[in-house]
């Protein structure tokens, strides 16, 4: 069999089809251009990093109130100091009952009322110091207090009350073992 020779037109067409095509800048090629995608990702990443708020939290150790045991064994006397935060101020209760305003006797009423629109944390601190000082000798070393609050009391007021009863003005411990109770 004899070789067939290609015509000049056929050779030209084969040459044109086999040459690599050079694409213009606006034409799509066979490669995926990921530069615009990376630009979007970087912009979103920078936006997220710039808007993230770093939050520092502090914790205060507190323990749930202990329930009394059901046994016939001997019990040690306790002060059982409880502070209830209400919208009108602080109601302080001890084992002997509610503490009257002024913190020197038992009675009804708000023990430490608000001074104007603000809660009186200094008055609360002075009141629990007085209660501790005037308590019987066997419970004077007690360091436990239960703090409870109405549901509509802001969290910052509860934390400030906890801070007020932990130490006195001289830095000595009053009631550092805070137990947070839930009002019912």
Domain extent listing, the chain: 81-182
pLDDT in tens, 51-68: 776 655 566 666 665 555
Strands 144-149 and 177-182: parallel
| Paired residues of 91 in beta bridges | 84
Q: How far apart are CA 81 and CA 77, in angstroms?
A: 12
Residues 6+ apart with CB under 8 A from 108: 98, 100
Which one, of 60, 76, 59, lies nearest residue 68 by Cα?
76
Cα Dmax for the chain? 129
Q: Report the pLDDT value the prediction gives residue 71, as an integer from 0 to 100.
A: 52
Residues 6+ apart with CB under 8 A from 3: none
pTM: 0.58
- In what helix (H) or strand (E) does residue 22 lie, and over which residues does it extend? none
Q: What is the mean pLDDT of residues 116-139?
A: 85
Q: What is the mean pLDDT of residues 138-165?
A: 86
pLDDT in tens, 107-122: 888 888 888 888 988 8
b/e burial code for range 133-144 (CB count within 10 A of at least 16 → b):
eebeeebeebeb
The pair phi, psi for residue 138, each rounded to 5°, is -70, -15
Which one, of 129, 78, 77, lies nearest residue 103 by Cα?
129
Residue 164, helix vs strand vs coil: helix
Q: Report the pLDDT value the prediction gives residue 69, as an integer from 0 to 100.
A: 52
């Amino acid at each position: 069999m004899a070789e067939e020779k290609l015509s000049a037109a056929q050779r030209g067409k084969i040459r044109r089809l086999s040459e690599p095509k050079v694409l213009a800048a606006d034409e799509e090629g066979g490669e995926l251009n990921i530069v615009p995608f990376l630009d979007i990702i970087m912009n979103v990443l920078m936006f997220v990093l710039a808007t993230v708020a770093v939050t520092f939290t502090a914790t205060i150790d507190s323990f749930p109130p202990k329930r009394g045991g059901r046994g016939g064994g001997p019990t040690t006397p306790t002060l059982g100091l409880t502070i209830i935060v209400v919208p009108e101020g602080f109601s302080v209760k001890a084992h002997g009952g509610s503490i009257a305003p002024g913190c020197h006797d038992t009675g009804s009423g708000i023990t430490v009322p608000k001074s104007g629109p603000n809660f009186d944390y200094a008055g609360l601190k002075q009141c629990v110091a007085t209660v501790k000082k005037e308590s019987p000798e066997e419970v004077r070393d007690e360091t436990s207090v239960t703090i409870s609050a109405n549901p509509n009391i802001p969290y910052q007021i509860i934390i400030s009350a906890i801070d007020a009863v932990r130490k006195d003005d001289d830095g000595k411990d009053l009631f550092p073992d805070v137990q947070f109770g839930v009002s019912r």
